[in-house]
Copies of this chain bind each other. A is one copy, B any other.
């Protein structure tokens, strides 16, 4: 009796959900019979399939159903989600369900209920009083939390591929190549950014120090001043070199205007940290008139929140850096829920960190000269990220020109 009916509905053929489901069943050594099948005869019609899955043992069946539920199949006879209490802090009950970054629903007390704050590799915790479900990372689990276990009553809804006139996200697919027409690609990104801002959406910038090294700090500063960036996620290096640039005109000791090495310039970043330490914080340095321009200056002036997360290779670090990485993650989570689009520029570490926290429906663009940076992001589950392999020092000026044309 190791069989179970599963259902699929929606654009299951052209979103490749049906083929993937059949694939998974067979790759895992199961078998299937298609019981019902109605194909949408026109592109606007949804399709429907009911499939009988068979396996060798009940546990084999459960494994297959596990995988199917992750790619959007729902078990035909809906049962209530199963909950079990955490036995101690940070310890999960056996058989716990680990989330994807797609919108997820649980069938709890007779209704499909959305899981709030969805994020990959987390757990679903249910509050029986409010009948709500929430995503929690393992480090936040408290003794007694009611954690979803097993595979019944869970529905995952991966993004369907849209049709017709394509924005940058459909256009690029997962393509990562330095041989695409760059200007055409940047125009699309600019138009996507304009659209988000016209709809009062929020944009997060994740930026590495190469933004400053390559001379683009003034561009980013202007984008912040003009209201195109709503939150900044970065590390000690970006902030330090931005301040180094504002105070001494150098980045990593190289004069940003002329590209020449400056005498003792490789110590400037320590001088910059010292100045901020003396002032007490970046905000204080702006207030005291010490810091007068740049990315961090514009954040302070325009009340744009920033999260500077510490890293093991930091010098200093600046007093504004959150040196505890779990605290820093939680601070990032505070802002990330409201974000509609993410620009990730020249930082593999912070891009993967933000990618880990992002729901799959948030549009994300990752720009790096190294194709591996983009590939790794996708390998780690952030498949919604569109990669652009180009020189950051060229990308930002051209992007900003294009955005200004759209205004």
Contact = CB atoms under 8 A, between A and B. Distances in A.
Contacts of A139: 316-317
B310 A326 contact: yes
A314 to B, nearest CB: 6
Nearest to A376: B179
Most chain B C-beta atoms within 10 Å of own C-beta, residue among A166, A185, A263, A278: A263
Contacts of A22: 13-14, 43
Nearest to A251: B181
B43 A32 contact: yes
A159 to B, nearest CB: 16
Nearest to A89: B277
Contacts of A332: 312
Contacts of A27: 163
Contacts of A28: 263
A313 B324 CA distance: 12
Contact of A312 (B64, B255, B256, B329): B329
Interface string A1-44: 00000000000011010110011001110011110010101110
Given A183-B393, A315-B356, A372 B375 contact: no
Chain A contact residues: helix, strand, loop or mixed? mixed
A179 B237 CA distance: 14
A381 B326 contact: no
B185 A259 contact: yes
Interface in A305-332: 309-317, 319, 323-329, 332
A264 B312 contact: no
Contacts of A33: 41-42
B214 A270 contact: no
A91 interface: yes
Contact of A264 (B63, B356, B394): B63
Interface residues of A, number: 112
A16 B19 contact: yes
A371 B369 CA distance: 10
A137 B254 CA distance: 23
Nearest to A313: B353
Nearest to A260: B171
A406 interface: no
A18 B26 contact: no
Contacts of A163: 26-27
Number of copies: 4
Contacts of A91: 274, 277-278
Given A19-B13, A181-B254, A274-B92, A37 B39 contact: yes
Contacts of A23: 14
Contacts of A278: 87-88, 91
A178 B312 contact: no
A30 to B, nearest CB: 10
Given A28-B263, A138-B270, A178-B369, 20 more contacts: A13-B13, A32-B43, A63-B263, A92-B277, A121-B270, A121-B315, A137-B315, A138-B277, A138-B316, A139-B317, A180-B214, A182-B215, A182-B393, A184-B256, A184-B258, A310-B312, A312-B329, A313-B349, A349-B349, A369-B390
Interface of A: 13-14, 16, 18-19, 22-23, 26-28, 31-34, 37, 39, 41-43, 63-64, 66-67, 87-88, 90-92, 96, 98, 121, 137-139, 163-164, 166, 171, 177-185, 188, 210, 213-215, 235, 251-252, 254-260, 263-264, 266-267, 269-271, 273-274, 277-278, 309-317, 319, 323-329, 332, 349-350, 352-353, 356, 369-372, 375, 379, 381, 389-395, 397-398
18 contacts: A33-B41, A37-B39, A67-B263, A91-B274, A91-B278, A138-B277, A178-B369, A178-B391, A182-B394, A183-B393, A184-B259, A310-B325, A311-B312, A311-B353, A323-B324, A370-B372, A390-B391, A394-B398
